């Protein structure tokens, strides 16, 4: 075709609702883009989607994204002059238990902070809004006035029309067939010709994994996803419902989340969509290969899988059984292992992005396009979007893992995510060299970037069942054990295996200068350890890393396990020729030995000089094995991180235990760190906050001769004054510690939010870290925290650690 576009700035592969939204938002940002669709727009999962539009989420980032979508959809039809069937009916989310109602309370508080009018409902109020329901066994409900449903095809066409109006090109019936690189540019190949572009977006829906394979030669990986079969059915018209609707309008959408289905009025019938435990994945075995084209197709009906859910829904809403089944929809829906989409930089691949694997693409599509466009055009997003960042999964997320987790997640789509609960599928992907020893000692493990670490150590008779963890409360079989572990660290010494610490090295001429140009902090000298913070261009907190310079040509960095691929990208930013970033994570194991007797315990095991000061670094032998010792402790006690070769770890661990150190787990470590006010990544430290808001002033060296990202923004913020301040709070918390994003109240107004909370066993109090309106960040200020619907008193503390405020124990 003579008018086929051969150059553009961005190519989007995939023409579902998400691809169309990406085109709309990229064009709105003033960038040229071309969207390629192999068939007609909506031909994948979009055309058969139910089109439900909830704002509800217990993820702050996802709620932001969905809230934006619904706001966009309200005005889109008029903006682009394209009619849409969008029914804002409200929804009722049923709760059967106290724990479910507590989850609703938390979501309500988060929603209120974002400007949503979520409303708790007593059982007696439910029938007023939904007269056909049976309520005898319910505990209450949550009402969302902004919920409803939209026609997915009309929405996609409206977004596409808007994109075209702003200059985007949309090429239908033009399948992409591959990609290649020429210099710093991408070439996207199609049957109609090749398009040269700066950036590429994989928005290929359930074909995203196949498209992702094209990028493997350029540093990519297999996209972690599985295609699930999702069924819903539509009934024939229900006379009783028709009569009621003609007088009262459309029923609210109903979700029985404890039974796991949604029920929606469709004209004068009903639409029932369960998420069944005995669910089915497709295209995962050799005898069920993915077809080259599944456009506008469905799977065969399989209603037997839904039998229990249909019966349960008919008992809840008896009119569901008053008419026969009119139509069954059984179509493919892509699932990432945690059920959240992949939006952001494609791991390992320059100038390539993902906006794919959407389980709820209709309600998230608008916000996803906004977020993706920000990644593409600005290199950063308005909200911290780590919850959906593709780099949250690393090499442990193989196909076996993805399949196991997708089936588990689909079957528990509406499940509550309790703070001490760990899902059992897809585990043991990465085991430390001392894993068997940890299990033999009673270790109850959790997965951290795929690595199994001890969360706590159970004693004989302790309840370690999954059922015991299904609570929001602090109390549980772990509580006494965490207390004992913290007390051992306080009074003697403990040891924790921190397997999977990310270990990166920048090597080559100018390595120190490169790292120095990325951080606002001053790098330590060789022989010393320092904490460095890395801002983005707005001065917001990208990450923190421990820096151990070996020389000007070799800088070692240690960071959080889950930050592995994220922080690699931070270091790769503007990497000069001749430098490399090496990942040596799997080469080493780390033991934190900490407590007032840790020096005494380590002395007979090592030839290290244990009199070297806090934040020192040395190479020495432990048990005759070469190790690196860092005098640091995330627990806030005298201690050393002992980094040893993986193969030497079992002998060294046995020796440390033999010297009297008590094993402790991640739950105890979290309690210990929060008493010191140490920040946790992607909770207390995120791009939702600037360095100065985060209370990291002492790490921000605005007088550094080197420029660094965000320097001008931080200088401006310092001159104008911060609007929020990081605070430590003591909380009259009752039985529940404050979860992430609990709202802070003062004089009847929301004035901030918590970023983490836990019980401190050394100070014997509930602690929350948070962000507070700057004028209230004064020691002694009394606040209230909304913790699962209960308003609990909290008091702002001094800007110093609650435990050992002068760090005397660390420096002993």
Query: How many angstroms separate the CA atoms of 271 and 89, rounded?
Result: 14
Helix count and strand count (H, E) for the chain: 18, 39
Nearest to 104 by CA among 280, 258, 211, 306: 258
For the CA atoms of the chain, what is the radius of gyration?
27
Query: Vertex 68, ends 197 and 48: CA angle to 5°?
Result: 75
- Give just the sign of the alpha carbon dihedral 730, 732, 737, 741: negative
* pLDDT for res 2: 58
3 state SS of 483: helix
Query: Vertex 757, ends 756 and 760: CA angle to 5°?
Result: 135
Nearest to 557 by CA among 569, 545, 566: 545
* pLDDT for res 706: 87
Element (H, E) at 125: helix 123-129
Residue 215 in tokens: 């990028």
Are the C-beta atoms of 21 and 35 separated by less than 8 Å? no
The pair phi, psi for residue 103, each rounded to 5°, is -60, -45
The pLDDT tens digits of the residues spanning 119-171 come to 999 999 999 999 999 999 999 999 999 999 999 999 999 999 999 999 999 99
From residue 439, alpha-carbon distances to 4, 443, 446, 447, 665 in Å are 61, 5, 12, 14, 12
The pLDDT tens digits of the residues spanning 732-767 come to 999 999 999 999 999 999 999 999 999 999 999 999
Instruction: Round to the nearest angstrom and report the end-to-end CA distance of the chain.
Output: 76
3 state SS of 341: coil
What are the residue ranges in the chain where pLDDT is below 70?
Answer: 1-2
* pLDDT for res 220: 97
Q: Which residue has the tokens 């100018």?
A: 510
Query: How many angstroms separate the CA atoms of 758 and 314, rounded?
Result: 42
Query: How many angstroms separate the CA atoms of 788 and 447, rounded?
Result: 26
Neighbours of 240 (CB within 10 A): 14
Query: How many angstroms separate the CA atoms of 264 and 50, rounded?
Result: 9
Beta bridge partners of 446: 453
Q: Which residue has the tokens 């109390």?
A: 475
The pLDDT tens digits of the residues spanning 670-719 come to 999 999 999 999 999 999 999 999 999 999 999 998 899 999 999 999 99
Residue 23 in tokens: 């085109």
564: which residues sit within 8 A by CB, 6+ positions away?
394, 449, 502, 583, 585
* pLDDT for res 1: 42
From the number of C-beta atoms within 10 Å of its C-beta (0-12, 13-18, 19+), residue 740 rates as buried
Q: Are strands 10-13 and 199-202 parallel, antiparallel or unpaired?
A: parallel
């Amino acid at each position: 075709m003579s008018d086929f576009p051969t150059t553009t700035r961005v190519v989007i592969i995939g023409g579902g609702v998400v691809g169309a939204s990406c085109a709309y938002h990229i064009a709105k940002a003033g960038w040229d883009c071309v969207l390629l669709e192999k068939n007609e727009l909506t031909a994948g999962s979009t055309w058969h989607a139910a089109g439900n539009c909830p704002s509800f989420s217990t993820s702050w980032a996802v709620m932001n994204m969905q809230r934006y979508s619904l706001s966009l959809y309200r005005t889109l039809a008029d903006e682009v002059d394209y009619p849409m069937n969008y029914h804002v009916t409200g929804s009722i989310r049923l709760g059967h238990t106290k724990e479910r109602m507590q989850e609703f309370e938390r979501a309500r508080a988060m929603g209120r902070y974002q400007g949503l009018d979520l409303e708790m409902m007593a059982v007696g109020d439910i029938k007023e809004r939904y007269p056909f329901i049976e309520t005898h066994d319910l505990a209450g409900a949550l009402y969302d006035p902004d919920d409803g449903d939209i026609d997915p095809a009309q929405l996609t066409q409206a977004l596409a029309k808007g994109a075209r109006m702003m200059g985007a090109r949309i090429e239908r019936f033009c399948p992409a067939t591959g990609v290649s690189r020429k210099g710093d540019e991408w070439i996207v190949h199609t049957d109609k010709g090749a398009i040269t572009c700066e950036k590429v977006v994989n928005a290929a829906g359930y074909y995203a994994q196949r498209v992702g394979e094209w990028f493997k030669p350029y540093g990519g990986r297999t996209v972690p996803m599985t295609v699930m079969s999702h069924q819903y059915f539509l009934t024939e018209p229900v006379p009783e419902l028709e009569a009621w609707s003609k007088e009262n309008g459309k029923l609210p959408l109903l979700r029985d989340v404890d039974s796991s289905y949604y029920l929606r009025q469709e004209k004068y019938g009903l639409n029932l969509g369960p998420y069944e435990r005995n669910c089915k994945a497709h295209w995962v075995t050799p005898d069920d290969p993915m077809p080259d084209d599944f456009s506008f197709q469905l799977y065969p009906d399989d209603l037997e899988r839904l039998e229990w859910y249909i019966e349960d829904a008919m008992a809840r809403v008896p009119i569901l059984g008053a008419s026969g089944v009119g139509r069954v929809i059984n179509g493919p829906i892509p699932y990432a292992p945690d059920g959240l989409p992949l939006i952001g930089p494609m791991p390992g691949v320059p100038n390539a992005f993902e906006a794919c694997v959407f389980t709820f693409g209709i309600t998230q599509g608008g916000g996803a396009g906004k977020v993706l466009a920000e990644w593409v055009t600005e290199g950063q997003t308005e909200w911290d979007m780590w919850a959906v960042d593709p780099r949250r999964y690393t090499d442990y997320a193989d196909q076996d893992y993805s399949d196991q987790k997708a089936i588990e997640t689909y079957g528990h789509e509406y499940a509550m995510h309790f703070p001490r609960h760990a899902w059992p599928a897809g585990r043991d992907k990465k085991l430390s060299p001392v894993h068997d020893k940890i299990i033999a000692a009673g270790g109850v493990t959790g997965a951290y970037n795929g690595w199994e670490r001890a969360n706590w150590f159970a004693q004989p008779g302790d309840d370690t069942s999954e059922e015991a963890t299904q609570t929001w409360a602090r109390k549980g079989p772990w509580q006494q054990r965490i207390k004992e572990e913290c007390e051992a660290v306080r009074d003697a010494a403990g040891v924790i295996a921190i397997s999977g610490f990310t270990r990166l090295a920048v090597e080559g001429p100018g390595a120190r200068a490169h790292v120095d140009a990325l951080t606002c902090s001053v790098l330590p000298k060789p022989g010393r350890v320092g904490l460095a913070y890395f801002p983005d261009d707005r001065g917001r907190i990208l990450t923190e890393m421990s820096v151990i310079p070996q020389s000007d040509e070799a800088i070692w960095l240690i960071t959080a396990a889950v930050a592995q691929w994220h922080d690699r990208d931070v270091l790769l930013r503007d990497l000069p020729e001749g430098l490399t970033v090496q990942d040596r994570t799997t080469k080493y194991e780390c033991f934190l030995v900490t407590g007032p007797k840790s020096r005494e315990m380590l002395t007979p095991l090592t030839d290290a000089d244990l009199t070297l000061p806090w934040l020192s670094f040395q190479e020495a032998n432990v048990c005759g094995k070469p190790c690196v010792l860092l005098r640091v402790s995330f627990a806030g006690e005298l201690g050393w991180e002992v980094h040893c070769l993986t193969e030497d770890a079992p002998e060294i661990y046995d020796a440390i235990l033999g010297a009297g150190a008590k094993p402790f787990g991640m739950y105890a470590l979290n309690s210990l760190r929060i008493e010191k006010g140490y920040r946790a990544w992607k909770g207390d430290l995120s791009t939702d906050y600037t360095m100065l808001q985060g209370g990291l002033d002492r790490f921000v060296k605005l007088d550094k001769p080197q420029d660094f990202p965000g320097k001008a923004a931080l200088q401006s913020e310092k001159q104008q004054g911060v609007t929020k301040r990081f605070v430590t709070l003591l909380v009259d918390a009752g039985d529940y510690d404050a979860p992430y994003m609990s709202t802070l109240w003062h004089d009847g107004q929301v004035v901030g939010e918590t970023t983490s909370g836990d019980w401190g066993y050394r100070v014997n109090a509930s602690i929350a870290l948070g962000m507070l309106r700057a004028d209230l960040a004064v020691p002694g200020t009394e606040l209230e925290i909304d913790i699962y619907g209960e308003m609990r008193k909290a008091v702002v503390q001094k800007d110093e650690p609650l435990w050992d405020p002068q760090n005397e124990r660390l420096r002993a």
